[in-house]
Amino acid sequence: MVYEDSPDLLDDSHSQADPNRNNLDSKLLTCTSTRMPFVIMVDISTSMSEGENYKDGIAPIMKVCNFINHLYEYLRNDEKARRCVEIAVVTFGPEDFSPEKDVISPFSLVKDKQDVDITARGPTFMSKAINYVIQMINERKSQYKTAKRKYFRPLVLLITDGGTNTPDIDEFNKAKLNCLSASKGKHLVFLAVKVGREKSSLNDSMHFDMLKGFDALHEPIRLEDVDFSQLFSYLSNSIEATISNAQVDQDNGTANAEPKGDFSALDDQDFSYGKK
């Protein structure tokens, strides 16, 4: 993961206006920590609440919440991560996506986070949420630059149990190409995760294939048993490796050396379980 100061390649022409886009986070002006923006996108369609399809009877949405809360706990207990990693949580599913109700946790350090408790409902529409996340990232990077803060390449983690609904496919594909372009330009890392396995093998394969093409380097990940332990280990190790040389605020106000290296945690590690 590398500090990024090149021009943005993200197209936010489909994004929605954010009334707070010009408000600089005052905390960015009073810190020296290199920041790592990380967006978790969560599918809240009705099928995510159906636990009867799994051996343990636990609904995927409950496991996703546990995964996020476990990640929060890990970050709080890591000396550097709690000062560097800024997480946002965005939900998607119903067609009426809006930042007011679906950005359930905006960008902030983990010390400011409350545990998540998400309810699943409705169909699966992805494109508006993906476009808005792109806008969020662009705006946050703009704030970093205004505040003269260094940052690592943004990471997006999308978690779903299916594919976008048919009426949304055209806009979904446009959003996916936008993400792929950003990935090729080293402006973004996009990891897509499909949980569970659908009753129809044809639908399951088709929906998994839909998640291909978001990132230039990484194939989508399949978690058939909705077991997030391996994904958690991978992410926590990746974050630790990425920020190991990051500049961070110290209790006495001093700072460490400049960040070094590339996004080795994601680009060089074996990612075999993310392949078919």
d(CA 196, CA 47) in angstroms, rounded, equals 10
* 31 within a domain of the structure (yes/no): no
- CB-neighbour burial class of residue 30 (10 A; exposed 0-12, middle 13-18, buried 19+): exposed
Domain count of the chain? 1
What is the chain's mean pLDDT, rounded?
80
* 169 within a domain of the structure (yes/no): yes
Reported as a single tens digit per residue, the pLDDT across 102-113 is 999 999 999 889
For the record, the structure tokens of 238 come out as 């990746």
* 99 within a domain of the structure (yes/no): yes
Instruction: For residue 269, give the nearest of 243, 240, 244, 234 by alpha carbon.
Output: 234
For the record, the structure tokens of 34 come out as 């290199």
User: Which CATH number is 182's domain given?
Assistant: 3.40.50.410
Reported as a single tens digit per residue, the pLDDT across 16-49 is 444 344 456 666 666 667 889 999 999 999 999 9
221, 194 contact by CB (below 8 A): yes
* 37 within a domain of the structure (yes/no): no
* 1 within a domain of the structure (yes/no): no
Instruction: Give the domain extent around 188.
Output: 44-201+210-269
* 20 within a domain of the structure (yes/no): no
Phi-psi region of 148 (alpha: psi -120 to 50; beta: other; left: phi over 0): left
**Global confidence as pTM:** 0.82
Phi-psi region of 247 (alpha: psi -120 to 50; beta: other; left: phi over 0): beta
